[in-house]
Amino acid sequence: MGEEGTEGMVHLLCLAASSGVPLFCRSSRGGTPARQQLPFSIIGSLNGVHMFGQNLEVQLSSARTEDTTVVWKSFHDSITLIVLSSEEGTSELRLERLLQMVFGAMVLLVGLEELTNIRNVERLKKELREALSGFAEAAGTAFVSLVVSGRVVAATESWWRLGTPEAVLLPWLVGSLPPQAARDYPVYLPHGSPTVPHRLLTLTLLPGLELCLLCGPRPPLSQLDPQLLDRWWQPLLDPLRACQSLGPRALPAGFPLHTDILGLLLLHLELKRCLFTVEPSGNKEPSPGQRRHVLRSFYALVTAAHFPPEPGQQEEKVENAAHRVQVPRACYQVSGTEEPGSGWRLVALHLGPRLLLLLLSAQSPTHGLRGLATHTLHALTPLL
């Protein structure tokens, strides 16, 4: 990236435009790759000032300090590239052309659709909702969902309104059963119908992806013939495969997530839905089982000591109004400080109806925990 004979540093940053979460960072000195990287706090500040300007309808394109030139450029409202150069004689025009070439290289290798796929989340959800509603009407039931590995990835409104016990237990039941092409399973609903059984019908659309229907005596399983399935689900094979690939990660392929994140729990307290994963990236310590235990313990701590588990539980009496004002919005916990590089970091952020809990590696700097959580929450908001 540099010119021969110069020893200045060049830093190239690629971030998700909607959230500011870094996708990759590269550095060079005199045209040779360098291991020196910018701290996450500086990356967040550089992106933050750019986003602040956009919110005020001001386009920040470049800036200069005594020895460094900075250029920002966003592409398709999806990717933001930032370059910092301390090379002698560098110009904004040259750096802007560099950013254009970098984005062109990204498109060359992975395609524009892959780079902007986060913007397609709402389209995917809309397509699945329309298919679920149409299939539910054709099958004569209002309770239909798509389940992947015991997780509900899309459902009709009636399914989402199920009581808390059955809303949790039904997908767990489906995920625990051995694979079958179709099932007709009697179930009692602990909240809605504890004495009269209902029928849980399941149909495997793709390996690991099941269509679930909760219904009464009708329809018979034989009525859900291939023609009905083909009519509603054959046109959506690509979106279905996108759901199928979620698996334990629970996030769309290519979703920008900081590499320090080992697990996350996002709760939408009004919709009573959640997004949970302890396998956001490759194999790292601790194990997924340990991560799950740590996140659950942290959730129990923060909901008991700091945040209300549901909005309605903060409706105190008038004499408690002063206490309600002091409810915190963020907290964190650090473990393993006695051994450098060991343990983990935990941070919780409560913003509006959403509560986000993150489990982070020990390398994540404590001073950047809230900024990282804020960026991650903004990135996850379109999903839940």
Residue that finishes a domain, picked among 87, 115, 143: 115
Average the pLDDT over 164-176 and give the result. 85
pTM of this prediction exceeds 0.75: no
| pLDDT reported for residue 121 | 62
Spatial contact of 377 and 266, defined as CB atoms under 8 Å apart: yes
Average the pLDDT over 124-134 and give the result. 80
Q: What are phi and psi of 113, to 5 degrees?
A: -60, -40
CATH number for 82: 3.30.450.70
- Which one-letter amino acid corresponds to residue 330? A
Spatial contact of 262 and 346, defined as CB atoms under 8 Å apart: no
Residues 141 and 217 in one domain: yes
Q: What is the pLDDT of residues 267-315, one digit of tens each?
A: 988 888 888 888 876 666 778 888 889 998 899 888 887 876 555 444 4
Residue that finishes a domain, picked among 65, 95, 115: 115
Cβ partners under 8 Å of residue 17, min gap 6: 74, 75, 77, 78, 79, 80
Q: What is the pLDDT of residues 313-359, one digit of tens each?
A: 444 443 454 445 567 889 999 887 656 656 789 999 998 889 999 99
Distance CA 199, CA 186 (A): 5
Distance CA 28, CA 6 (A): 11
Averaged confidence pLDDT in the chain: 81
**Domain count within the chain:** 3
Length of the chain: 384
Q: What is the pLDDT of residues 83-104, one digit of tens each?
A: 999 888 788 888 999 999 888 8
Assigned domain for 4 exists? no
Spatial contact of 260 and 363, defined as CB atoms under 8 Å apart: yes
| pLDDT reported for residue 313 | 46
Q: Which two tokens stand for residue 259?
A: 């590499």
**More confident site: 28 or 237:** 28
| pLDDT reported for residue 179 | 86
Distance CA 239, CA 123 (A): 10
Q: Is the dihedral of CA 69, 366, 362, 279 positive or negative?
A: negative
Residues 97 and 129 in one domain: no
Cβ partners under 8 Å of residue 109, min gap 6: none
Residues 71 and 161 in one domain: no
Assigned domain for 32 exists? yes
Given a cut of 90, whether residue 2 has pLDDT beyond it is: no
pLDDT band at 143; cut points 50, 70, 90? very high
CATH number for 376: 3.30.450
Q: What is the pLDDT of residues 207-248, one digit of tens each?
A: 888 899 999 888 888 877 677 777 888 878 777 877 766 666
Question: How are the residues of the chain apportioned to helix, strand and coil, as percentages rounded to the nearest 5?
Answer: 40, 30, 30
Q: Which domain holds residue 46?
A: 9-115
Q: Which two tokens stand for residue 277?
A: 């994963």
Q: What is the pLDDT of residues 42-96, one digit of tens each?
A: 887 888 888 777 767 788 889 998 889 999 998 888 889 999 998 887 888 889 9
